[in-house]
Amino acid sequence: MTPALKVENLVTELALRRGVLRPVDGVSFHVDPSETLGIVGESGSGKSMTCLSLLRLLPKPGGRIASGSVVVGGRDLTRLSEEELARDWRGRRISMVTQDPMTSLNPVYTVGDQVGAPLRYHRLAEGMRAVRAGAAAVLGRVRIPSPESRLDEYPHQFSGGMRQRVVSAMAIACEPEVMIADEPTSNLDVTIQVKMIDLYRKIQEETGVAIVLITHDMGVAASICDRIAVMYAGRIVETGPARRIFRAPAHPYTRALLDSIPRLGRKSRRLTALGGQPPDLANPPTGCRFAPRCALRVAKCAAYPPDAALGEGHSAACWLAGNEADHAA
């Protein structure tokens, strides 16, 4: 099967006064059609910068893709002109659901105008009547009741959960091959989170879209993702099927993330906190970047480990993966 999205050795640089940072440093992954890949990790691990890099929406000036490739539909998006990327790809074949819909939606334009904008820009609907009909249809697909009657309402007239549905509607309006969802449930109540997860499942069933889900919530990742990539300090340290990641984590950082999740009904189990801080990306440590915080570190952690293949598409960038780390769990 040809991946809907294939990322290879992606490096993103930010030029700041204190030096050049690489928030995305050699990242590689792929997502197949109708598959959901979750990218998880602490705040500052490079998750959101990765998804911005895929669409080339980097801070200006100072942000750039230094090397690597992002392939969708057989084309490397890093080599396209900005004009071609905006006209034929961004929003059309690869789209994004932003983290905070209240700041993403323009308060002075109606919801109908904003949902219809991708249809109008990419010329999938001609004329006001066709654009409104298309916008209403998309709002209906994200389960907004009476969509026709809500086209002329403004974002402040929608609840938080409904605003999230609106930005999701904008992302799927052009039926893209790839949809990036950046923390789509982080500002929602738990009950609304469940509804949004169910919505994304149904959208995927209907359209076959490949989803890249960015989250720090391991519970959300477990409930919707087929595969998971764990990111730390700009690099992916472990990737594999979601069930294997949760049942048999191979990287000490992944294990630390899972150990920090409270377990209901286990009052005798002490909650484990991950000590230390992520490294300064302007001056990252040599070798394994997690080594300064790792209780299992050994001398050879001073050199960066290769990915250890653990079977069934599971791999981890750890010298101990598959041997000593299993016994120390």
pLDDT above 90: residue 238: yes
Determine the residue type at 15. A
Find the helix or strand (DSSP H, E) in which 47 lies: helix 47-54
pLDDT tens sequence across 105-139: 999 999 999 999 999 999 888 899 999 999 999 99
- Taking the model in full, what pTM does it have? 0.91
Residue 328 lies in a domain: yes
CA nearest 67: which of 20, 27, 21? 27
Number of domains in the chain: 1
pLDDT above 70: residue 276: yes
Residue 312 lies in a domain: yes
Find the helix or strand (DSSP H, E) in which 147 lies: helix 147-150
Residue 295 lies in a domain: yes
Residue 258 lies in a domain: yes
253 in helix, strand or coil?
helix
Residue 275 lies in a domain: yes
pLDDT bracket for residue 323 (50, 70, 90): low
Residue 291 lies in a domain: yes
pLDDT at residue number 327: 38
Residue 186 lies in a domain: no
pLDDT bracket for residue 267 (50, 70, 90): low
What separation, in Å, do the N-terminal and C-terminal C-alpha atoms of the chain show? 35
Residue 314 lies in a domain: yes
Cβ–Cβ under 8 Å, residues 233 and 281: yes
CA nearest 47: which of 194, 235, 209? 235
DSSP codes of every residue in 220-249: HHHHH-SEEEEEETTEEEEEEEHHHHHHS-
pLDDT above 60: residue 324: no
Residue 288 domain boundaries:
252-329
